[in-house]
Structure 1
Amino acid sequence: MADGVQVGSRVLVQFGKKKFYTAIVECLHSQKPEGYDVKPLMAVLDSSPVVRYPQLKLWHWIADYYLCAPGEVYKAAVPTGLKPESETYLSLNPDYEPDERNPFKITERQAIVIQFLQEKKRMRLSELETETKFRNVAAIVNTLMDAGIVEIDEKVVERYRPKKTTYMRLTFPRGDSDRLHEAFEQVKRSRMQETTLIAYLDMSGWMSPNGELRDVERDKLLALSGTSPAVLRALVEKGIMETVKKSINRFTAADDTEEKINLSPLSAAQSAALNQITDGFRQQPVQLLHGVTGSGKTEVYTHLIARALAQGDQVLFLVPEISLTTQLSDRLRKVFGRRLLVYHSKFSDSERVDIWRRLLSGNEPLVVLGVRSSVFLPFARLGLVIVDEEHESSFKQYDPAPRYNARDAALVLASMHGAKSLLGSATPSIETYYKATSGKYGLVTLSERFDGATLPDVEIIDMKEMRKKKEVKGIISSPLRRRILDTLTDKKQAIMFQNRRGFAPVVVCEQCGWSPKCHNCDVSLVYHKNQGLLRCHYCGFTQMLPKLCPACGLNGVRTFGYGTERIAEEIQAAFPDSRVTRMDLDTTRNKEAYQEIIEEFSRHDSDILVGTQMVTKGLDFGDVTTVGVLNADTLLNFPDFRSNERAYNMLEQVAGRAGRRKQRGSVVIQTVNPDHEVLQYVKSHDYATYYHRELEDRRKYLYPPFTKVINIYIKNKDAAGCDRAAIKLAKSMIGVFGSRVLGPEKPFVSRVATYYVQSIMLKIEAGASMKKVKDLLRQITAVLSSDPDIRTSQLHYDVDPV
């Protein structure tokens, strides 16, 4: 294997006696490791590398900056289809002989497990759990293994499934004119067979002796010749043609003869912004485009992308949500055709592998539209990175590690390639705007909407007053109800925003006060009516909604509060002639669901779209004239230094969905706190005043951009052990960092997925050496690693939390 191993190649390595994993070769050397026995590589999986050098460099930067292991980055970066690994399979032991003197008594559940294994021969534990519907199937299997009835073995599983296509070819070589003449004699009585043969000769290049001879795709041959599969079968039966199966990439390379890029003309303001960005790149490789909602930032992006492609460069276009890729991909496909690739987690493993291999196979000019995982793709000639809606917290990965921010990683990736970067937003993050105004980034402003459209009017409704006047029915106030009715009468559309999914967030017994809690987390369960389930939004735990209270036995279980499911139901009842669609995590479980909902609303097959924060992010619907924020208070007053920023960004963004064409839009925000300063900034669309006020608060209380923040989380299944570990870690940190350490404290949800959680915040001056800080953190945890409370706890770091 020595000649086949290269940096970036995949190899199969052995852990323990039976486990096999895929690894990446990082470097080649001749120094034998000391202190342990080195195992040989089991196999080299590639004839050429699947990872480029800049990727490995980026992985190490992410691991170092976000305080995680390079292996954790590799696990997140490479598609599962490129990581074959062994899976544990269960089967009955054929050599098992029962002990007649001390027989093993098989329970009913054990008998069911044995029966399934007899029928299926080999099963994964997860399959056995699904089939038997036993929650404790692992414990049952363990007892059967102890008795020698069941055994396990490991099998290396390859998850990538290539796409196969049928091709047609003649059974004789080019140049055999006698056999070709004989073939035409065989088909002369069938006009369709003769037509098909002539079409094949034309498509395959047979008649050009010096040209390349190609097999012809079966479906394309049928389409061109206008014949049926039966005609092809007849040609095969006569021995004239044969079929061959080939593995193909799902995302084929663009032809040299690809159609021209058709760009829409820019307005004067857009052209000025484009020129400013282009000129700015000469001084600053990173530029911020601050454009109000509806100002046409996407058109500016397309012109920049076209210029990059014309220079032979590749482009990475990052968006925060999969829902955005759906609408953007349609717009960009019309401009760039097959030069556009879309990449996100809703694609299958095999589809992601094919995109990976497409980029790995060459350096053709392409534009990749994707969410945060797109930064890991093997770009060969990256020339431009665009991060749209750069303020979005969705760019930040929370769990598992690496807890990276794709926006910042994309900027580092661009610098490694020598590429230019453009950040775009109507509501830039405080840190980004601070860098732009202080000269670290270039700043370009688009202050007017495209084609003369105006920013929407914002009306703030005091729900306390509305309820006193009895002008609230359900969750909808009279002003919002009238606005929706006017919108429907004008044949326009409305968006209703509520950042809470499910039917009802509160379930309680009116008789005794019982409320269902998650078994694994310190949170209440949310009722989902369509499924008839109570669900935990943290760990996924579910249970049926009880008809009688399990505490007092009475019929007093009631649901309170409003999630998107309940709101959609109420709006449908209030406006029975309207067509209501819901967009949240429950209705968009697969990649087609996003497309269907957005296309349906775009075609005006739906009148009112009810959704969570998915509906706030960059969607462009021309007929939306009304936006309703049903409960702004769920966004305000969180115990977090970013709460005002998040609330302003989300409200301004959702307001920006209204009135994006000639007709002026209106936004109705319902709240019990109408005088809240954030709502006033949204009402006046005054980003500048909001920014300066927020910046002063950050300066006063020493938060980013004036400091760098690292949150350290301690998790333990034992509450007391978690507390002790957090106190010990905090004391050690205070000994090194002093008053920069805040905590430990319990977060808002202090138990998640059976683990108790404590957090410590470390605030470091912006000018300090973060490398030194992180080295000190590693030293502290290394010194404490032998402590029993620390050893039994999980520690992880969240660098630059959002």
Structure 2
Amino acid sequence: MSQFADVILPLPLHKYYTYRIPAELKENLSTGSRVIVPFGRKKYYTAIVIFTHNHAPADYETKEIISLLDNEPILRRPQLKFWEWIAGYYFCSVGDVYKAALPSGLKLESETLVSPNPDYEENPDNRLIERESILLDTLSKYPKISVQDLEKESGLRNILPVIRTLLDKEALFITEQIKRKYRPKTETYIKLAFGPEEQEKLRPIFEQLAPAKKQLKLLMAYLELSSFMQRGQFKEVPRNTLLERADVSSSVLSGLIDKGILISYKREISRLDTSGRSAEPAHALNTVQQKALDQIFHSFKDKEVTLLHGVTSSGKTEIYIHLIQEVIQKGRQVLYLVPEIALTTQLTTRLQRVFGDSLAIYHSKFTDNERVEIWNNLLKDKGIRVILGVRSSIFLPFRDLGLVIVDEEHENTYKQQDPAPRYHARNAAIVLASMHGAKTLLGSATPALESYYNAQQGKYGFVELTSRFEDIQLPRILVANTQELRRKKQMTGNISPLLLDEANQALKRGEQVILFQNRRGFAPVIECKLCAWVPKCKYCDVTLTYHKRYHQLTCHYCGYTCEVPRQCPACGHTEIDIRGFGTERIEEDIAQYFPDYQIARMDLDTTRTRKAYEQLIEDFEQHKTQILVGTQMITKGLDFDNVSVVGILSADTMMNFPDFRAHERAFQLMAQVAGRAGRKKRQGTVILQTAQPEHPLIQQVINHDYAGMFHTQLKERQQFSYPPFFRLIYIYLKHRDETILNSVACSYATRLRQVFAHRILGPDLPPVARIQSLYIRKIVLKVENNASMAKVRELLYQAQDDMLKDERFKSVTVYYDVDPM
């Protein structure tokens, strides 16, 4: 019988830890089970069992598992294998993957509790300072209190140093308790104290309640709601629904419960929106769509992955729906990935119409309890067949995945940046699908260069949709030469006369307008008119962005904010100029041009909550707002019937970004936002504002020439050894001391050149070389596509371990970004 279990802890540890299995847990404990284990000094974590065995570790004494949390495992067989693949490929620990994969509600952790020492007496030689006295006085009112609550009750901030000194003086004790995060949702229900077979008891009850009019009214409301009037049943009824229908107070209900006529009890209910939606047939496909669907089925016969390259508004979503139907009719499950939460909002309605309650949505704007319920529903096979979600959905416990759809597969939001694991959901989804024996469909009007290259080389299947739904023409793209307009003094603000004229005509026709500016805030910079001083973040190497609504300067990297100075802190001059423009500035400017129309703004500042997203989209769909100003959020496949004019306000800033993918990404953004115009009624118009109208990329956007952009970029990538011909790994080093960081970065790069030779570039400064007071250096490693990633990882870790043997470098943070975006 197994005596030991190797477990994953939710910590960045590069090995599994072994624990003893208590005799009483041996029978029920298995791979994928959650257990509570001690780790470190008085800390407890929820660990997941990897496997059980009989071999005690040789280098440390094993501790015992404290408890088993579930009778059955919470992971399915392929999940642990998938976690290990992600950890191996993306150079992180399985603990990092565990933290990203599991909803927080399934990860119990210990919470620090503080309690006073009743025997403590103040020592005259070591008297308490004021903060210590306040803390002890507050603490004396409670037998035990959490650190967070103690901070609130005492009114003190940053109390951990004070607790530490009081601990040294033995004035208090610290203990740990396990904190359960997930709580099932319950609701109070009411039913009769007897069953329908005893209906004769109702007559004397009516006579008894004749003088109590309100109680009689409540009983009649119950009988109506419980289906007694229609079917002679005594169903349970939600307490709140009953009180609302009867329009009486809760004391009336208590009276009936006290008389033994009704009984009250709590029942666990789902947080998911399962309102018994009935499914409807999918819309019939037109000839072009049906041909594409047939080609996808044919491609899936010998290809695991197929790329669907369909122009904007070609009806890709309807093709997805028909594909999903085929898969779920075979009893298998479907994962439908989208890059942005805003997209799930629009797609939900379309998918629910066809798939009813077998559809579930999964993303970070849902509460943690809702995410746990979706996890448990899939784990226990309670009826979910289709998951519509963002990148974290790849970690859900699918029983039998038959199809993965990655919509807008080119989007860089599929790549997790921080913290680890820095995985790409598209690439990980392809691996996940292969583990389930499922097929993967990638869809986009502007595919990633790597995906399109794989399709051209025959690695992926390839299907094209070259015409829009109902043969509506692609939008005409007109260029506004901002350099020439400013030179001729025909454009003083941020919006060209051509765009204003086209927008005005569209609005008069009752149509809608979208304006795209890929920078939030009012202005990227404010500057002193006299000495050109520009405010910078205290903790990051970036200028602060001016947000007029809050009249403050904000760092978009660390969140630092400060007031706008009344005078320049460098020279004392009082005139401070605003330079550049963000979405907030455009919103204000356009309101002056079109005061009679409703304007909405969609960016990170206005979409902090799920409801905010949904409300913005719903208002625009229902024409409550006529003009939508937004960042790249508005480019991601949103479908608005009535938009006829789209303005791209600053094409140049996208093209000039210092990154080898800048031109590819600029083309994708401009083509996608242009695709929001003229989707249903007639050809739309796009006004593209640029100071470089003759730039080859601008011409490719105007001509909707994806193939031209692809071949231009492919030549450059091949010449300079970039993807898809080579694989990239960025190595980041961080430290508070810039001198130490420079030294360690040069040392590490030298060691790596001894192994990888010319494949190493750097160390260099990234575009932002300091964030949250940590200086950053970047080393680039280019490796051939056929190189063993396991061997590369081994060589990198070996060089890192050799470097960190130097005491000066112990506190340096090193991490890796594989296939960076």
Q: Cα distance, 1:198 vs. partner?
A: 6.8
The residue that corresponds to 2:106 in the other structure is 82
Q: Which among 10, 22, 27 is matched to residue 3 of structure 1? A: 27
User: 3-state DSSP class of the match of 1:472?
Assistant: coil
Q: Cα distance, 1:289 vs. partner?
A: 0.7
Q: Cα distance, 1:724 vs. partner?
A: 1.3
The residue that corresponds to 2:263 in the other structure is 242
CA distance in 1, matches of 2:696, 2:201: 86
2:182 counterpart of 1:163: no
Q: Which among 603, 621, 645 is matched to residue 584 of structure 1? A: 603
CA distance in 2, matches of 1:113, 1:682: 64
The residue that corresponds to 2:482 in the other structure is 463
Percent identity, aligned pairs only? 48
Q: What are the superposed Cα offsets for residues 228-263 of structure 1, whole Å, 9 maximum, x if unpaired?
A: 6767555424312211112222237797xx734321
The residue that corresponds to 2:16 in the other structure is none
Q: Which among 222, 226, 229 is matched to residue 196 of structure 1? A: 222
2:764 counterpart of 1:740: no
Q: Cα distance, 1:768 vs. partner?
A: 2.3
Aligned partners of 1:165 and 1:245 also within 8 Å:
yes
Cα distance change on mapping 1:767 and 1:541 into 2, 3 Å = same
CA distance in 2, matches of 1:11, 1:697: 52
The residue that corresponds to 2:38 in the other structure is 14
Q: Cα distance, 1:717 vs. partner?
A: 1.2
Q: Which among 384, 389, 393 is matched to residue 408 of structure 2? A: 389
Q: Cα distance, 1:553 vs. partner?
A: 3.6
CA distance in 1, matches of 2:138, 2:503: 56
CA distance in 1, matches of 2:154, 2:221: 57
The residue that corresponds to 1:210 in the other structure is none
Aligned partners of 2:223 and 2:229 also within 8 Å:
no
CA distance in 2, matches of 1:553, 1:110: 43
2:347 counterpart of 1:318: no
The residue that corresponds to 2:530 in the other structure is 511
Aligned partners of 1:144 and 1:150 also within 8 Å:
yes
Aligned partners of 1:253 and 1:358 also within 8 Å:
no
Aligned partners of 2:218 and 2:242 also within 8 Å:
no
CA distance in 2, matches of 1:205, 1:695: 70
The residue that corresponds to 2:87 in the other structure is 63
CA distance in 1, matches of 2:161, 2:570: 30
Q: What are the superposed Cα offsets for residues 605-659 of structure 1, whole Å, 9 maximum, x if unpaired?
A: 1111111110111000011111111111110122211111111111100111111
The residue that corresponds to 1:32 in the other structure is 56
Aligned partners of 1:323 and 1:594 also within 8 Å:
yes
The residue that corresponds to 1:545 in the other structure is 564
The residue that corresponds to 2:272 in the other structure is 251
CA distance in 2, matches of 1:50, 1:115: 44
Q: What are the superposed Cα offsets for residues 209-233 of structure 1, whole Å, 9 maximum, x if unpaired?
A: xxxx97554467779x878676755
2:737 counterpart of 1:718: yes
Q: Cα distance, 1:167 vs. partner?
A: 2.0
2:797 counterpart of 1:778: yes
Q: Cα distance, 1:771 vs. partner?
A: 2.4
Larger displacement relative to structure 2 (523-532 or 119-128): 119-128
The residue that corresponds to 1:697 in the other structure is 716
Q: Which among 304, 318, 329 is matched to residue 323 of structure 2? A: 304
CA distance in 1, matches of 2:525, 2:443: 38
CA distance in 1, matches of 2:229, 2:555: 58
Aligned partners of 1:67 and 1:797 also within 8 Å:
yes
CA distance in 2, matches of 1:565, 1:45: 49
Q: Cα distance, 1:571 vs. partner?
A: 0.8
Give 1:104-503 correspondences, 5 Å limit.
104-106=128-130, 125=147, 137-148=159-170, 151-172=173-194, 190=216, 193-194=219-220, 196-197=222-223, 200=226, 202=228, 215-218=236-239, 233=254, 235-251=256-272, 259-362=278-381, 364=383, 366-503=385-522
Cα distance change on mapping 1:460 and 1:275 into 2, 3 Å = same
Aligned partners of 1:309 and 1:365 also within 8 Å:
no
CA distance in 2, matches of 1:202, 1:94: 62
CA distance in 2, matches of 1:473, 1:659: 29
CA distance in 1, matches of 2:386, 2:311: 25
Q: Cα distance, 1:93 vs. partner?
A: 4.8
Aligned partners of 1:340 and 1:367 also within 8 Å:
yes
Larger displacement relative to structure 2 (767-776 or 729-738): 767-776
Aligned partners of 1:455 and 1:656 also within 8 Å:
yes
Aligned partners of 2:733 and 2:778 also within 8 Å:
yes
Cα distance change on mapping 1:778 and 1:96 into 2, 3 Å = same
The residue that corresponds to 2:7 in the other structure is none
The residue that corresponds to 2:70 in the other structure is 46
CA distance in 2, matches of 1:148, 1:733: 50
Q: Cα distance, 1:347 vs. partner?
A: 0.9
Larger displacement relative to structure 2 (189-198 or 486-495): 189-198
Equivalenced residue count is: 792
Cα distance change on mapping 1:235 and 1:127 into 2, 3 Å = closer
Aligned partners of 2:632 and 2:669 also within 8 Å:
yes
CA distance in 2, matches of 1:26, 1:206: 54
Q: What are the superposed Cα offsets for residues 185-205 of structure 1, whole Å, 9 maximum, x if unpaired?
A: 656884762563475375999
Aligned letter for 2:675?
G
Q: Cα distance, 1:688 vs. partner?
A: 1.1
Aligned partners of 1:499 and 1:613 also within 8 Å:
yes
Q: Which among 618, 642, 660 is matched to residue 661 of structure 2? A: 642
User: 3-state DSSP class of the match of 1:678?
Assistant: helix
CA distance in 2, matches of 1:743, 1:435: 29
Give RMSD over aligned pairs. 2.7
Name stretches of at least 5 consecutive residues in structure 2 with no aligned partner.
1-24
The residue that corresponds to 2:812 in the other structure is 793
Cα distance change on mapping 1:177 and 1:567 into 2, 3 Å = closer
Cα distance change on mapping 1:21 and 1:673 into 2, 3 Å = same
CA distance in 2, matches of 1:308, 1:254: 24
Larger displacement relative to structure 2 (431-440 or 117-126): 117-126
Larger displacement relative to structure 2 (717-726 or 579-588): 717-726
CA distance in 2, matches of 1:203, 1:738: 84
Q: Cα distance, 1:374 vs. partner?
A: 0.3
CA distance in 2, matches of 1:296, 1:689: 24
CA distance in 2, matches of 1:120, 1:660: 64
TM-score normalised to the size of structure 1? 0.93
CA distance in 2, matches of 1:485, 1:652: 23
Q: Cα distance, 1:148 vs. partner?
A: 4.9
Name stretches of at least 5 consecutive residues in structure 1 with no aligned partner.
208-212
CA distance in 1, matches of 2:776, 2:337: 32
Aligned partners of 1:506 and 1:527 also within 8 Å:
yes
The residue that corresponds to 1:758 in the other structure is 777
CA distance in 2, matches of 1:691, 1:576: 42
Q: What are the superposed Cα offsets for residues 82-102 of structure 1, whole Å, 9 maximum, x if unpaired?
A: 101012345555444222244
Cα distance change on mapping 1:663 and 1:9 into 2, 3 Å = same
Cα distance change on mapping 1:119 and 1:554 into 2, 3 Å = farther
CA distance in 2, matches of 1:632, 1:273: 33
Cα distance change on mapping 1:668 and 1:141 into 2, 3 Å = farther
Aligned partners of 1:503 and 1:527 also within 8 Å:
yes
Aligned partners of 2:729 and 2:782 also within 8 Å:
yes
Q: Cα distance, 1:555 vs. partner?
A: 2.0
User: 3-state DSSP class of the match of 1:476?
Assistant: coil
2:728 counterpart of 1:709: yes
Q: Cα distance, 1:485 vs. partner?
A: 1.1
Q: What are the superposed Cα offsets for residues 330-370 of structure 1, whole Å, 9 maximum, x if unpaired?
A: 22122222111111011111111111111111163511111
